[in-house]
Amino acid sequence: MTVALARRLGLRLLGAALLTVAATAVAWLLLRLLRADLFPPGESVPAGLAEVLERIYLHGDFGRVGARELGDVVRERLPADLAILGGAMAVGLALGVAGGAWCATHPRSVLARALDTVAMVSISTPVYVVGLGALLLFGAGIASVAGFIPVQYVEFGEDPLRWLGSCIVPWLVLGLPLAGLLLRMMRGSLLDVLHEDYLRLARAKGLREHAVVRRHALPVALAPTLNLAGAAVPLLLLNLALVERVFSVPGIFADVRNVVGTADVPYVLALTTIAAALTTLASVAVDLALAWLDPRTR
């Protein structure tokens, strides 16, 4: 890693930390503006913002939920969120980039038209509808022969192989809308790049088409696609809450509906902080990926 890239990474991480703190502060302010009668009996918003930020960011203390420390609950349940979110992001990127590249290089093929149709359907269909359909399909035993794909989430420590099987359907349900968005972005970006003059020159020099696409066109077309993937993280987090409810994944985002409905102050602040941290870290990861793809941005 060069000095310039290390400096850039440090600045981006500092910016991500500041944005996360700002998101927590905004959530605290909005909670302070709510009427007192909206909170459960005995529940209130801490009066001092500095005290809240110090407790969360210096001591890792989110408060209590019931008889337990909320920090312990987060440490227990966050790995399930990260597993589903990371797998869905990988599925969305893989299917979106591969499908978009195929549609751009074979625009008149039957497969390209079918992929475009599937992308439109995946974007426009609510994720909970897809989740319930998948739950009915796999719950009926149609696709879970030999029990490799369980209907409900299985803990990794209980059985790693069954954990992997239980993640497949949530990954697909959560990742397909992202794949549809990325497919359309990748297709449009790659089609634009393929008509650039420098690629015509590369073809004129005798470079084969697959080499032109792989070496010169794909890295350029990937830039807007990765930017869109990073910007889609908040949408993925919203859909993650629905997917976790449908498939009984014991993540912290599964309780979003109950937490917001009951104005559970510590839980709301914890969810806001975690969501902001994940979003900003995704932005940093995209920035590093772009720097690796295009040295001019370093």
Ranking 29-38, 56-65, 239-248, 260-269 by mean pLDDT, the lowest is 29-38
Mean pLDDT of 40-54: 68
pLDDT of residue 146: 47
- Would you say residue 295 has pLDDT above 70? no
Identify the domain containing residue 128 by its residue range: 3-297
Q: What are phi and psi of 16, to 5 degrees?
A: -65, -40
Q: What CATH number does residue 149 fall under?
A: 1.10.3720.10
- Rounded distance, CA 253 to CA 227, Å? 24
Cα(11)–Cα(233) distance, rounded to whole angstroms?
Answer: 21
**AA letter at 9:** L
pLDDT digit string (tens) for 153-188? 888 888 888 888 888 889 999 999 999 999 999 999
Buried b (16+ CB within 10 A) or exposed e, 50-82: eebbebbeeeeebbebeeebbbebbeebbebbe
Q: How far apart, in Å, do the first and last CA atoms of the chain sit?
A: 11
Round the average pLDDT of the chain to a whole number and report it: 83
pLDDT, position 148: 58
pLDDT band of residue 210 (cuts 50, 70, 90) is confident
- How confident is the model over 213-230, as pLDDT tens digits? 887 788 888 989 999 999
Distance of CA 231 to the CA centre of its chain: 9
The CA dihedral of 137, 143, 145, 151, to the nearest 10 degrees, is -50
- Flag whether the pTM goes above 0.95: no
For residue 270, the SS3 value is helix
Q: Highest-confidence range of 4-8, 131-135, 209-213, 269-273, by mean pLDDT? A: 269-273
At residue 275, the pLDDT reads 93
Domain count, the chain: 1
236-275 pLDDT per residue, tens: 999 999 898 888 888 888 888 777 666 677 888 888 999 9
Cβ pair 291, 5 in contact under 8 A: yes
Percentage of residues of the chain with pLDDT beyond 90? 34
Angle at which helix 233-246 crosses helix 127-139, to 10 degrees, equals 30
